[in-house]
């Protein structure tokens, strides 16, 4: 499942450094993205099982993450850190997520597949999507990203999903 949270070797190192801190604070890391462009940017998406993540919590944890990453020195060059809640159009990164969002539309990117569909089944090792082309079974070890797809959803459906 680590591939769903962190794809690159740098992201995996960051995850391993941050996970104890984040868990200790009562959160879980849903996704880490380290983007290179004009400037380096680190995005950390968090979730809680008991309630929503607040903006103030993201700000407080951001300070702690910055301090920890300064000590760990995983990212050598200056970077911008963004910490946020997983949100409604969240990444799915655990078996619990797959169970919770079964029968919801998702966007999937893997080493061999990129597409959309309804998440109709999952196991420890695979995901099954249903779309206009029929059922597609994907090997979880090859999936890089799976995210809720809000396209075409009604406002009422989105509101219902927000409180899952």
Quote the pLDDT of residue 108. 95
User: Taking the model in full, what pTM does it have?
Assistant: 0.86
- Top-level class of domain 95-162: mainly beta
Query: What's the fold here for domain 2-85?
Result: GMP Synthetase; Chain A, domain 3 (3.30.300)
- Residue spans of the chain under pLDDT 50: none
Which residues, 6+ apart, have CB-to-CB distance to 66 below 8 Å? Answer: 81
Quote the pLDDT of residue 115. 92
Rg (CA), the chain: 16
Quote the pLDDT of residue 157. 66
For the chain, percent of residues with pLDDT exceeding 70: 91
Strand pairing category for 40-47 and 79-85: parallel
Alpha-carbon dihedral angle through residues 93, 127, 98, 116, given to the nearest 10 degrees = 90
- Residues 108 and 143 sit within 8 Å (Cβ to Cβ): yes
Quote the pLDDT of residue 25. 93
Quote the pLDDT of residue 160. 64
What six digits make up the tokens of 155?
Answer: 């406002």
Q: Per-domain residue ranges for the chain?
A: 2-85, 95-162
């Amino acid at each position: 499942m680590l591939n769903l949270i962190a794809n690159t070797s740098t992201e995996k190192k960051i995850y391993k450094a941050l996970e104890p801190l984040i868990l200790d604070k009562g959160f879980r890391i849903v996704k880490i993205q380290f983007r290179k462009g004009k400037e380096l940017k680190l995005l950390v998406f968090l979730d809680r099982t008991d309630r929503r993540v607040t903006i103030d919590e993201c700000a407080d944890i951001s300070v702690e993450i910055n301090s920890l990453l300064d000590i760990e020195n995983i990212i050598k060059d200056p970077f911008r850190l963004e910490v946020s809640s997983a949100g409604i159009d969240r990444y799915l990164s655990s078996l619990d997520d797959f169970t919770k969002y079964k029968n919801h539309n998702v966007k999937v990117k893997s080493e061999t597949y990129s597409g959309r569909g309804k998440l109709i089944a999952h196991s420890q090792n695979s995901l099954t999507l249903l779309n206009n082309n029929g059922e597609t079974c994907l090997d979880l070890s090859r999936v890089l990203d799976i995210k809720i797809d809000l396209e075409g959803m009604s406002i009422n459906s989105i509101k219902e999903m927000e409180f899952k």
